Amino acid sequence: MSKPQSQQLRIIGGQWRSRRLRFPSVDGLRPTLDRVRETVFNWLQFDVEGSRVLDAFAGSGALGFESLSRGAKEVIFLEKNPSAAIQLKDNLKLLEASNAQVWAGDALLWMQQNPEPFDLVFLDPPFRLNLLQPAIDALRLLPGALVYLEHEAGLALNLPDNWAEKKAKETKEFSFRLFEVI
């Protein structure tokens, strides 16, 4: 079996602006596009600094690294793919980021076993694997927490009654939405 090829992502803002990080080329891993990340972090411009962040289904870690670069107090990366998890750890070492952890395992299991309060949660699982609804159901968040969802277009979700949609955009392929827990 050949070693997965490596790809790169660019951090678009904060202290590591323009830094490039490697991530493995694995099935289902599709980093949030630069233009989408730019929009999302414009939405979040006053909410990231000092926050506790959960980057579930981290993949390349684009959303978590962007959060760290913009002053997040702590980021927990959850990633099941072993090569992606190893690369996340390597990238944290490269950036000398001591305020982040990588949990290499099933994100749903971790969320069920660790109902910790987070200020900001990113849920961007691989598409068409029916992971988003169970992840939403596993979250236990305090009022004021923000939740970012990225999912395939047309996906019907059963969202908690106390989630208020703040922002949303859609393309033909996918939707990205920001909610606040009220």
What is the rounded CA–CA span in Å between residue 56 and residue 61? 9
96-111, pLDDT tens digit by residue? 999 999 999 999 999 9
In our burial notation (b when 16+ CB lie closer than 10 A, e otherwise), range 141-155 reads beeebbbbbbbeeee
Phi first, then psi, for residue 23 (nearest 5°) are: -150, 150
Residue 116: what pLDDT?
Answer: 85
10 three-state secondary structure: strand
What is the rounded CA–CA span in Å between residue 101 and residue 99? 7
- Report which secondary-structure segment, H or E, holds 112: helix 107-113
What is the rounded CA–CA span in Å between residue 65 and residue 82? 18
Domains in the chain with CATH codes = 6-181 (3.40.50.150)
Two tokens, residue 127: 């598409």
Phi first, then psi, for residue 107 (nearest 5°) are: -60, -40
Low-confidence residues of the chain, pLDDT below 70?
1-5, 28
- This prediction has a pTM of 0.93
What is the rounded CA–CA span in Å between residue 61 and residue 92? 10
Residue 115: what pLDDT?
Answer: 84
Residue 135: what pLDDT?
Answer: 97
- Least Cα distance to 66 among 18, 111, 104 occurs for 18
**Contact predicate 113/102, CB 8 Å:** no
Q: How far is CA 38 from the centre of its chain?
A: 14
